[in-house]
Amino acid sequence: EVGYVPIVTRQEKSAKKVRVFVLAGQSNKQGFGAIDDAGNSQGSLIDAIQKDDEGLWSAIGEEGNWNTLEGAYLLFAKEEETIKANVTVGQGANADLIGPELMFAQQLDTYYDDPVLIIKTAWGGKSLAVDFRPPSAGGNTGEFYEAMIQTVKSVTQNLGTEFPEIGLTDFELAGFAWFQGWNDGETDGFLNEYESNLDHLVRDIRNDLGAPNLPIVIANSGQGGLTTSGDLWVQSMQNIVSDAQENVGCNDEVYGGRVGFVDTKQFYQDSAESPEDAIHHFNNNALTFLNIGKSLGHEMIRAINDMAYCYAD
């Protein structure tokens, strides 16, 4: 075309860096999805794989031949051991369990060409009101809040020592996912301040990790699912804590698509369809933990792209 001058620009590909994600919370973030069930009932990981006609979980592998993600790594400091390894099956609260990290890692490993590192800072039986209490909430800062921050800083500042196999020390703190709530049903005071404490947590995590726009995803306490429970503790999760988590995760006016929300009620399976009768651990149903991890990963990708908005419909 007359007068048309093509202008060609060239951008250098950015240097590779480790994309670091923090998965934080209490026992369900540790992971309580049963891999096998000696009673051969429904809801174990092996059962879910065997019934997976659509191939939803094919990337995990199969019994006796579980896949390992070469581009995704996990650090999980437990009381008895510290896991530092590529992500695979058996990295939940113990080696017989899985947690949300499994499918979360699958989602983010697919999304990034860069290596992904998941730091799991999760301890069983811990409340937001006391154990994870963020500093701006007032009172004594929680011991496990401080441990969480210290763990993330220590690992990221020593990547070459902690994960020499990655071969990189340059990193980006890429996201934070929160899955906790059960122990805040202990008192009415804990319940009533949960929303305020969670809002402080979002702000303080960003401040203390030096990442003012850090993508954050909040999963609610969906124990009991969508049917109202007769158990008062479970009711407090369904009606108070879950609402508080949604209110913070869906505060689009304040967080503008960088904080997202995952409703885990939809993934709850009754005990009759699960390996255990343990409602606080989602009845140890592996399919529940697969779905939660996958949804956390999907929502995290939306938050990374400023798209984690909630809508009334």
47 half-sphere exposure, CB direction, 13 A CA radius: 20
The C-alpha angle with vertex 48 and arms to 238 and 301, in degrees rounded to 5, equals 60
pLDDT in tens, 17-31: 999 999 999 999 999
pLDDT higher than 80, residue 312: no
Tokens of 38: 């000696």
pLDDT > 90: what percent of the chain? 91
What tens digit of pLDDT does each residue of 174-222 get?
Answer: 999 999 999 999 999 999 999 999 999 999 999 999 999 999 999 999 9
Tell me the average pLDDT across 229-235. 97
The residues near 21 (Cβ < 8 Å, ≥ 6 apart) are 104, 108, 116, 117, 118, 119, 174, 175, 176, 177, 300
Check residue 4 and give its pLDDT.
39
In this structure, the number of other CB atoms found within 10 A of the CB of residue 76 comes to 23
Arithmetic mean of pLDDT, 121-145 = 98
Tell me the mean pLDDT in the region 267-280. 96
For the cut 50, the answer to whether the pLDDT of residue 1 exceeds it is no
pLDDT exceeds cutoff 70 at 14: no
Name the band, by pLDDT with cuts 50, 70 and 90, for residue 96. Answer: very high
- The answer on pLDDT for 134 being more than 80 is yes
Q: Report, as an integer, the average pLDDT of 87-95.
A: 97
Cα distance between residue 166 and residue 94, in whole Å: 25
Residue type, 164: P
Q: What is the mean pLDDT of residues 62-91?
A: 94
**The predicted structure's pLDDT at residue 37:** 80
pLDDT at 12: 40
Q: Which residue has the higher pLDDT, 37 or 51?
A: 51
- Measured between its terminal Cα atoms, the distance across the chain in Å is 48
State the chain's mean pLDDT as an integer.
94
The predicted model gives 281-293 an average pLDDT of: 98
pLDDT band per the 50, 70, 90 thresholds, residue 111: very high
pLDDT at 297: 98
